[in-house]
Chains A and B, each alone.
Chain A
Amino acid sequence: MKSAPWIATTLVLACLAQLASRGANARERQLCADLRLEGALEPGLSDTELRLVCGDPKSQAWRSIPPPQATFHLRTFLQNRGYHRPEFIATEGGGTRVRIGTPTRLTRVQAEGAPAALRLERRRGLRGKPLTPALLSSIEQWVVQRLQALGHPCPLATALGNSDTGDVVVQVRTGPAPRVGAVIEEELVPGLLPGLFRRYDAFQLGESFNGDWLAVTADRINAQDVIQNIHFTPVCEPLPDERTGVVIRQSLTPGPPRLLSFGLGIDTEGLLLARAAWRHARLGRAASWLNVTALASAREQSLESTLNWYPLAVPSRRSLRPSLLLRHQNEEPFETFEARGSFALSTTYDDPVLGMSLLFGPSLRAFRTFRGVGPRDSHFLFLDTEVGVMSHSFEYFAANPRTGYRLGALASVGTRSLFSTLSAQRAEFTAQGLWNFRDFDPPLLVIGFRGALAATFTSERPGPSTGLPANFFHYLGGSSNLRGFGRQELPRSHLGGLTSAFFSTEARLGSTLPWNLEPLVFLDVGALGQEPLTLTAPIYHSPGFGLRWLSPVGVFRTTLAHGYPSNVPGHWQFFLSFAEEF
């Protein structure tokens, strides 16, 4: 997709529709026989509200509503919509004309009794909104949630709004800020070890409480499909004691252990995917899991089976992970078939700020090259090491990224002397950081950086006669690195490189445009090298811009960028992706 004039057309039409609907609402309405409403009331009165204002012909006791009571009810309903200064004008015929006026809009929010770290001023999107009870409740909810993230498990917040000025004062009682004392497991999953789910904890017993980390923990467990549902809540009755700490209640619904799914999807490269998966999430008392996934797209078909086995008889983060993968890849530069068997030791670790993961073990890989560089058949025995570091905040905002960092390192070591066709070692370092400018919520400006350095160490060199399979080489281009080029478009020779590096920076304007549209600008820079750990000219760069839309079903992103340098034939590159984030 080289251009998208339809996007602009769609946006313009949507704006016009919105304006037209607003115009249509600005009218008078005869509510009841003797009550006329002047002004655009949004949303309109519900049936129940109308009955309480105008009477209910089906009810003897409520058939007619005395005018002062109808006025009282209507005032209440208008208040519920932010109209605090309605005028009730008696008409000559004995009726009443209600001029609803304009809604009072929030002008200022301040907190009383809150710690300085709350920084209520960073809460965006409030000013200018109609002052309604729902808005006050949402402010209270936000304050409570943020105070829980600041270490207060049981805060109370009451927002008071001034209907004349639009000022809002939030009266806060933070409550104590104890450490995490214990976790109460309300229910045990039959057949599983008690305390099993502590291996997913992002929070730490004995450390400061943070409500967000409870959510991260629950989401880790839910994402693994170990059980149907789990969540954690601090126990606030009685209020936690500073000495004994706050007790966290764990509630869960186990659900059946097996999950079967079939799906059609799309990946960030714009490819249509089909996937079938079967998973048993609770094998044994330690809840080991077995996963079998078949995936098919026009460019890749794979069948993967992984067993994650917790061998210890006590709850532990350490597991053994044997895996089998069969994969056919039909990319533009190459077509290969890969068979891989691996056996790894896996573990994780969390501290109050970040989590780490480690995976270490051998893998045996066999390749058949149908097209592209490399020998027809080859095999390798690698010792793989993968280390990941991720801040809890990065994980917390995984579905809507705004802050945090992630580091990753991968290394695969293989030698010709140990069941390998060639000696080859591969390494990759990735890093990503997101910065929420002034920590606004929702963010005003999210600035992100990401980069990777990958290299293959071998005596082979890219070329038609190389002994390495094509997917040992490195390519650039695509929505995940250089967005001004097509997927794996670089190098132009399609021979790949032994080294690749890229660095991207992106600035996204958040929650400023209507309909959750967020514009973004970016610059990607990258280079490839034909030698291990050597980068050669040209240095590719691709400035561009795009739009992110947080739709009800997920995130859509479009980007338009131009690939440079100019001595390489460049072009405009358009990407439309779903579920991809920077």
Chain B
Amino acid sequence: MKKKLFMRLLKAGFAALFLTAAFVVAALLVLLRWPGLFLGERTLPWLAERLHGATGVVLTWRHGTLDVESLSFLDKRVTLAFTGLCARQEAQHACFSTASLEARMDFSGLKFRLVDVGPIQLIGGSVDVQLPPSEAAPSTPSPSEKGPSIDVPARLLNSRLLPVLIQIDEARVRDGEELYRGAVTLRVADDPDGKPTGSLLAEATLPDLEQVELRSDFRVRTEPAPPRRLRRDREALVFLEHRLSGSYSDSSDRIRLSAQGTAGENRLHERMDWQWEGLERTRGRHPRWTARLGGESCELDFDSSATRIRCPLRAPLPVPPKALPRGHVPARIRGTLTARLNPMSFPPDLSRPITGDAELKLDPILTPLLEGGGTVRSRISGVLTEFPRNWKLDTTFGFELAIPRFERLVRQLRKTAWAVPAPFHVLEGAIRLNASGKTQVFDGILPLSLQTRLASSNQRLDLDAEATLELADLQRLGSPPGRQAGEAPGAPEARLRARVKLSEVRLELPRLKLEAPPPLLPDPRIRGTRWFEGQRASGQKSETVAFEYDIEVLTPEGQPVKLISNLAKDPVPLQLRLRLSDSAPLQGQLSVGSVPLRVLRRRALLESFDLRLATPVDDSPLSGRIRVTYADYVLKILLLGTAGAPRIRLTSDPPLPEEQLTAVLLFGRPLEELDPDQSASVADARSALADGALNLASLYVLASTPIQSVGYNPNSREFTLKFRLGAGTSLNIGSVSGEYQEIGIRKRLGPHWTITTDLRHRTLEPAAADSVDSTRGKASAFLEWHNRY
């Protein structure tokens, strides 16, 4: 009974199984034959739901169709067509006005095969992408990462790619606060050989009007894979051959790049040309030349073991003076950059640190005027996405540029605007500029040294200078973003701090005559219209400083600068410590050491002279002491006051009245022996000196010449100095313009002689009860000999 029941149930089971199989087969047959009965518009929501479940992408559309065309029993073409298709995943969002996707599938042999992919058209795209915030990257790359490879499913390798067109009219990419806008067009199709070939055109506008353009043509190449590398889903090695061209520009920089290469199977090889230009611009009153740097046939090899770069570089230099013969000054600097970076994943994970070594080797400069060369070696570590922040470039460098024969340079520049001026143009010797040491590139500090060894028959110019050049562009690159943002506009682009030691300097001054020295510089008060307009404009906007400098110039102890002048018997030793800065006027101190002089025809000793520079220079306080030894006393001349208004105080040992000392100093005789005119000169000279009405040059002339008379009008601060030139001739110098009022009534003609005007009726002094008669009010003038005693 049980057995019978079991048999019945078994039969019934088989029958049900058979019927089910028959139903399924029938259903499959029906599906294969009339797929439209099962797949259609109604299926789309179901498919979208499955997609959402698998990928998290939410698809929506305004109108969509799914059409399955039965080309044969086992050969089907599926066509999806949408209007208003949108896909969204979290913050990412993409919409296309129209979208159509086709694929042809073959089920022959009960094996699914994708015969054709495409045509695919996604038109009128609008894409919004929100980049995730950058996260801290692992400190070292994973050793298991492979190089660049393109994994294509095996079933796609034998598929035919029909034209693909993806057109995104507006792509918006947000990175935090930044918004990038752009457009992308991608076209892909198989070439006649059946290899996918395409082009990608992308244009983007970045914040601050930066523009990026990228055009790429690419072609997929496949090669049979070695048997050992065959896997179930791969039957070939796929390579992407590409040709890229792009450009980037913003307000200050422009980069052009063209490259061609191959990517695939753990290897990327690029050969590229590029050029960077720092665009010419004006900051404040400092025009800049266009800095250019380019690389030709740069090779980049990327594989799982390392990344290697070898790039010949060239940087054109500013156009040299036209008068210089060709080849005397290099037109460009050439060099080669080589780098080896440690393994990276592919595509590179930009958030992971990279490390490596780089070397820049400059080709030697060898021209008749210049010699030089140099090498830079750097140990690199940093994260690409953070470049150049937090990057470390431990750099060792050594450059040298020399002018081995200064006289050649002088000769070549003689008729150019860069001519070396006298008295330096007779010097011969060498100038060497060195830059060497260890530095962190993004500290932006470049140590420099300059040395001159120049000499002529009676001159010498030996300087030893140490300097650091800070390049703000590099410092800005290496500083945190917050600091960059907070940087003041118009901040300097470079800072130079230098200490120039005048190791041995002896220079000859031009021969001067005893007269008012000629102006050596144009008077800054007289300018052209353009300068005045510039002044008005600069009054409206603040000027930016492109270059900051702080230069200290000093003489070593015991090694003063020696100035040779026809006005001094021995070279004048000048000790100086000056500070030149862009932000402050010239500061420092000039000191003249002990030097014998002739002061007013007598031998004297300049014991000290110090000038502490101030702004304007005329306000610089000075102090000096001159000792003149006479038979029975020593006269000390103290220089006080300022450079523009020096005052003189006379003392003596034993003490004598100051007017006596002035008389002796000016005329070589005591006051009692002077005629009234000379006495008046003594008085006027004392007033002028006490008033600071003479500048240093006038003082020097006063001290160097045989004085005939000194005149001073304190009201107009006019000073005249009359001195004998010999042979009965005399010369007047001073500040008298002849246009100012003189209310004096006595005009000097010479020693003891004056013309005196009696103007009693024009002064307040009572007329001493003069006779009351009709001649009252008459004036008289006398040619008078007079003597004060």
Contacts and interface: CB of A to CB of B under 8 A. Distances in A.
Interface in B442-461: 456-459
A258 B672 CA distance: 12
Contact of B762 (A60, A253, A475, A581): A581
A58 B509 CA distance: 12
A386 B767 contact: yes
Given A48-B515, A216-B743, A229-B680, A264 B778 contact: no
Nearest to A161: B526
Contact of B686 (A77, A253, A275): A253
A160 to B, nearest CB: 5
B444 to A, nearest CB: 36
A269 B778 CA distance: 8
Nearest to A394: B762
A437 interface: no
B683 A84 contact: no
B743 A398 contact: yes
Contacts of A225: 788
A97 B687 CA distance: 48
Contacts of A79: 519, 522-523, 526
Interface stretch (A10-18, A132-140, A415-423, A529-537): A132-140
A412 B772 contact: yes
A133, A223, A259, A361: most-surrounded residue (chain B CB, <10 A): A223
Given A163-B528, A395-B762, A581 B779 contact: yes
Contacts of A80: 518-519, 523
Nearest to A408: B761
A323 interface: yes
Given A253-B682, A553-B747, A475 B774 contact: yes
A172 interface: no
Contact of A62 (B417, B419, B422, B684): B422
A435 interface: no
Contacts of B527: 160-163
Contacts of B631: none
A579 B680 contact: no
A254 B659 contact: yes
B522 A61 contact: no
Given A59-B510, A390-B764, A264 B782 contact: yes
Given A46-B518, A229-B683, A321 B768 contact: yes
Interface SS majority for chain B = loop
A554 B781 contact: yes
A574 B532 CA distance: 56
A260 to B, nearest CB: 5
Contacts of B511: 48, 51, 56, 58-59, 62
A395 B715 contact: no
A30 interface: no
Contact of B766 (A357, A479, A579): A357
A42 to B, nearest CB: 16
Contacts of B512: 48
B785 A261 contact: yes
Nearest to A442: B739
Contacts of B90: none
Nearest to B521: A76
A61 B523 contact: no
Interface stretch (B5-13, B253-261, B568-576, B750-758): B750-758
B784 interface: yes
Interface residues of A, number: 140
Contacts of B144: none
Interface in A142-184: 142, 145, 158-165
B404 to A, nearest CB: 21
A363 B525 contact: no
Interface string A463-484: 0000000010011101111000
A269 B773 CA distance: 15
A75 interface: yes
A98 to B, nearest CB: 16
Interface string A447-462: 0000010100000000
B745 interface: yes
A397 B744 CA distance: 10
A384 B769 contact: yes
A134 B781 contact: no
Contacts of A131: 526
A255 B683 contact: yes
A267 B680 contact: no
Contact of A399 (B423, B679, B742): B742
B745 A251 contact: no
A263 B782 CA distance: 6
A474 B510 contact: no
Nearest to A59: B511
5 contacts: A56-B510, A61-B459, A66-B421, A223-B765, A321-B768
3 nearest interchain CB pairs? A263-B784, A229-B683, A61-B423
Interface of A: 46-49, 51-52, 55-56, 58-69, 73, 75-77, 79-80, 84, 125, 131, 133-134, 136-138, 141-142, 145, 158-165, 186, 211-212, 214-216, 218-220, 222-225, 228-229, 231-233, 251, 253-256, 258-269, 273, 275, 304, 306, 321, 323, 327, 338, 340, 342, 344, 346, 348, 350, 355-359, 361, 363, 384, 386, 388, 390, 394-401, 406, 410, 412, 426, 428, 430, 442, 452, 454, 471, 474-476, 478-481, 488, 500, 552-554, 577-581
Given A55-B422, A253-B686, 4 more contacts: A133-B526, A255-B788, A275-B782, A500-B774
